[in-house]
Amino acid sequence: MNKKGSRKIVVGQESYRWLISPATKGLLVFTAEHTNYKGQIIRVYIESDVNEYWADFPHVEQLNVRIIKPADVSEIISQAVSLGWDPKRKGSPLTFNLIGTHLKIRNS
């Protein structure tokens, strides 16, 4: 993951880089990896219309403008680790959906 555009966070004793980008209309994708290892990454798809806000302004009452904060990032990373993510070991990316505040493995 490129340092430019990503942010750093420490969860427990481990350091991670993360970023959020648009996936498709109505979805954001959160991506994270360990800062010190080129291991497995996670991708988490999050329902949000935050990128549609300006396109639909001023008719934004019906939009889901969910924003991911650093506390959410910490919780997502903690849950991913408890669900089997090993950011220090190489492997295919793990992909999840964020449903409310809980991760659910995403079927491709």
- Report whether pLDDT(9) > 60: yes
In angstroms and rounded to an integer, the radius of gyration of the C-alpha atoms of the chain is 14
Prior bond of 22 cis (ω within 30°): no
pLDDT above 90: residue 87: yes
Question: What span, in angstroms and rounded, lies between the C-alpha atoms of 51 and 55?
Answer: 8
Taking residues 48-54, what's their average pLDDT?
62
pTM for the model? 0.83
> Residue 89: phi, psi to the nearest 5?
-110, 135
93: confidence class by pLDDT, cuts 50, 70, 90: very high
Q: How far is CA 30 from the centre of its chain?
A: 2
- Whether the pLDDT of residue 40 is over 90: the answer is yes
